[in-house]
Amino acid sequence: MSEHEDLEKFAQALQEQILAQARLEYSEAVIERWINPRNMGTLENPDGYGKVTGICGDTIEIFLRMRDDIIAEATWITDGCGATVSCATMATELVKGKTFTQALAAVSADEIIKRLGGLPEAHLHCAQLASESLRSALADFLHQQKSPWKKPYRKT
Ligand code: FES
Protein backbone atom coordinates (compact mmCIF):
# COMPACT_ATOMS: atom_id res chain seq x y z
CA MET A 1 0.00 0.00 0.00
CA SER A 2 1.38 3.44 -0.99
CA GLU A 3 1.85 6.28 1.48
CA HIS A 4 -0.97 8.17 -0.26
CA GLU A 5 -3.38 5.23 0.15
CA ASP A 6 -2.35 4.94 3.80
CA LEU A 7 -3.15 8.59 4.36
CA GLU A 8 -6.50 8.30 2.59
CA LYS A 9 -7.44 5.29 4.72
CA PHE A 10 -6.46 7.15 7.86
CA ALA A 11 -8.55 10.21 6.84
CA GLN A 12 -11.55 7.98 6.10
CA ALA A 13 -11.25 6.18 9.44
CA LEU A 14 -11.02 9.53 11.21
CA GLN A 15 -14.11 10.83 9.41
CA GLU A 16 -16.05 7.69 10.35
CA GLN A 17 -14.97 8.10 13.95
CA ILE A 18 -16.14 11.73 14.00
CA LEU A 19 -19.48 10.75 12.44
CA ALA A 20 -19.98 7.91 14.91
CA GLN A 21 -19.36 10.37 17.73
CA ALA A 22 -21.78 12.92 16.20
CA ARG A 23 -24.50 10.24 15.86
CA LEU A 24 -24.51 9.85 19.64
CA GLU A 25 -25.76 13.43 19.94
CA TYR A 26 -27.37 14.44 16.64
CA SER A 27 -30.09 13.03 14.39
CA GLU A 28 -29.38 11.82 10.85
CA ALA A 29 -31.25 14.85 9.47
CA VAL A 30 -28.88 17.20 11.30
CA ILE A 31 -25.74 15.34 10.32
CA GLU A 32 -26.83 14.98 6.70
CA ARG A 33 -27.24 18.78 6.45
CA TRP A 34 -23.83 19.44 8.03
CA ILE A 35 -22.29 17.32 5.35
CA ASN A 36 -24.50 18.54 2.46
CA PRO A 37 -25.71 22.04 3.31
CA ARG A 38 -28.43 23.36 1.00
CA ASN A 39 -29.04 26.96 -0.09
CA MET A 40 -25.69 28.17 1.23
CA GLY A 41 -24.43 31.48 -0.17
CA THR A 42 -25.42 35.08 -0.71
CA LEU A 43 -27.80 36.77 -3.18
CA GLU A 44 -26.94 40.03 -4.83
CA ASN A 45 -29.44 42.81 -4.21
CA PRO A 46 -31.87 40.58 -2.26
CA ASP A 47 -35.56 41.47 -1.78
CA GLY A 48 -35.21 40.58 1.90
CA TYR A 49 -32.11 40.50 4.07
CA GLY A 50 -31.71 39.53 7.72
CA LYS A 51 -28.66 39.35 9.97
CA VAL A 52 -28.94 38.22 13.57
CA THR A 53 -26.27 37.40 16.15
CA GLY A 54 -27.33 34.86 18.76
CA ILE A 55 -26.56 34.56 22.46
CA CYS A 56 -23.48 32.45 21.66
CA GLY A 57 -21.98 35.19 19.44
CA ASP A 58 -22.61 33.35 16.15
CA THR A 59 -24.33 35.10 13.27
CA ILE A 60 -26.64 33.98 10.46
CA GLU A 61 -27.37 36.13 7.42
CA ILE A 62 -30.39 35.31 5.24
CA PHE A 63 -31.06 36.47 1.68
CA LEU A 64 -34.48 36.26 0.00
CA ARG A 65 -35.51 36.59 -3.62
CA MET A 66 -39.26 37.05 -4.14
CA ARG A 67 -41.20 36.37 -7.31
CA ASP A 68 -44.91 37.35 -7.34
CA ASP A 69 -45.11 37.16 -3.53
CA ILE A 70 -43.50 33.70 -3.56
CA ILE A 71 -40.07 33.06 -2.06
CA ALA A 72 -38.18 31.92 -5.14
CA GLU A 73 -34.79 31.75 -3.44
CA ALA A 74 -33.69 31.72 0.19
CA THR A 75 -29.99 31.46 1.01
CA TRP A 76 -27.81 31.85 4.07
CA ILE A 77 -24.27 32.24 5.36
CA THR A 78 -23.04 31.76 8.92
CA ASP A 79 -19.92 31.69 11.07
CA GLY A 80 -21.74 29.34 13.47
CA CYS A 81 -21.48 25.70 14.47
CA GLY A 82 -22.50 22.57 12.55
CA ALA A 83 -25.96 22.60 14.13
CA THR A 84 -26.38 26.18 12.91
CA VAL A 85 -25.55 25.06 9.38
CA SER A 86 -28.29 22.41 9.62
CA CYS A 87 -30.79 24.87 11.15
CA ALA A 88 -30.13 27.54 8.49
CA THR A 89 -30.47 24.90 5.78
CA MET A 90 -33.77 23.71 7.25
CA ALA A 91 -35.09 27.27 7.72
CA THR A 92 -34.50 28.07 4.03
CA GLU A 93 -35.91 24.69 2.95
CA LEU A 94 -39.06 25.45 4.96
CA VAL A 95 -39.80 28.78 3.25
CA LYS A 96 -38.83 28.20 -0.38
CA GLY A 97 -41.89 28.26 -2.63
CA LYS A 98 -44.09 29.77 0.12
CA THR A 99 -45.81 33.14 0.27
CA PHE A 100 -44.69 35.76 2.78
CA THR A 101 -47.50 34.86 5.19
CA GLN A 102 -47.01 31.10 4.87
CA ALA A 103 -43.27 31.52 5.43
CA LEU A 104 -43.77 33.63 8.54
CA ALA A 105 -46.00 30.93 10.03
CA ALA A 106 -43.74 28.04 8.93
CA VAL A 107 -40.37 29.11 10.22
CA SER A 108 -40.51 28.84 14.00
CA ALA A 109 -37.64 27.42 16.06
CA ASP A 110 -39.94 24.58 17.18
CA GLU A 111 -40.70 23.62 13.58
CA ILE A 112 -36.99 23.64 12.65
CA ILE A 113 -36.19 21.44 15.65
CA LYS A 114 -39.07 19.08 14.86
CA ARG A 115 -38.09 18.72 11.19
CA LEU A 116 -34.49 18.06 12.18
CA GLY A 117 -35.56 15.25 14.50
CA GLY A 118 -34.50 17.19 17.60
CA LEU A 119 -31.36 18.96 18.79
CA PRO A 120 -29.28 18.59 21.94
CA GLU A 121 -30.31 21.02 24.69
CA ALA A 122 -27.10 23.02 24.26
CA HIS A 123 -27.93 23.68 20.59
CA LEU A 124 -31.61 24.58 20.78
CA HIS A 125 -30.60 28.23 20.44
CA CYS A 126 -29.16 27.49 16.97
CA ALA A 127 -32.73 26.86 15.73
CA GLN A 128 -33.86 30.05 17.46
CA LEU A 129 -31.11 31.97 15.65
CA ALA A 130 -32.07 30.50 12.25
CA SER A 131 -35.74 31.30 12.81
CA GLU A 132 -35.02 34.88 13.96
CA SER A 133 -32.69 35.53 11.02
CA LEU A 134 -35.27 34.34 8.56
CA ARG A 135 -38.04 36.38 10.17
CA SER A 136 -35.74 39.40 10.10
CA ALA A 137 -35.28 38.90 6.31
CA LEU A 138 -39.07 38.66 5.92
CA ALA A 139 -39.51 41.87 7.94
CA ASP A 140 -36.92 43.55 5.72
CA PHE A 141 -38.86 42.44 2.64
CA LEU A 142 -42.01 44.00 4.06
CA HIS A 143 -40.11 47.18 4.86
CA GLN A 144 -38.74 47.34 1.31
CA GLN A 145 -42.28 46.99 -0.05
CA LYS A 146 -43.28 50.05 1.92
CA SER A 147 -40.14 52.08 1.13
CA PRO A 148 -38.66 50.69 -2.11
CA TRP A 149 -36.41 53.76 -2.58
CA LYS A 150 -34.38 52.69 0.47
CA LYS A 151 -33.25 49.36 -1.05
CA PRO A 152 -30.15 50.69 -2.85
CA TYR A 153 -28.87 52.32 0.35
CA ARG A 154 -29.09 49.48 2.83
CA LYS A 155 -26.07 47.47 3.91
CA THR A 156 -25.98 43.75 3.27
FE1 FES B 1 -23.89 29.37 18.20
FE2 FES B 1 -24.92 27.13 17.17
S3 FES B 1 -25.51 29.18 16.83
S4 FES B 1 -23.50 27.32 18.81
For ligand 1, the distance from its centroid to the CA atom of residue 22, given in whole angstroms, is 16
User: Going by CA atoms, what residue is nearest to atom 3 of ligand 1?
Assistant: 126
Residues touching ligand 1 (Cβ under 6 Å) are 54, 56, 58, 80-81, 83-84, 123, 126, 129
- Output the pTM of the full model: 0.88
Residue 11 lies in a domain: no
CATH number, domain containing residue 140: 3.90.1010.10
Cα–Cα nearest to 103, from 115, 95, 114: 95
Main-chain dihedrals φ then ψ at residue 72, nearest 5 degrees? -80, -40
For ligand 1, the distance from its centroid to the CA atom of residue 77, given in whole angstroms, is 13
Residue 80 lies in a domain: yes
Residue-level pLDDT, tens digit, the chain, 156 residues: 788 888 899 988 988 898 898 899 999 999 999 999 999 999 999 999 999 999 899 999 999 999 988 999 999 999 999 999 999 999 999 999 999 999 999 999 999 999 999 999 999 999 999 999 999 999 999 998 877 776 666 666
Residue 154 lies in a domain: no
* Tally of structural domains, the chain: 1
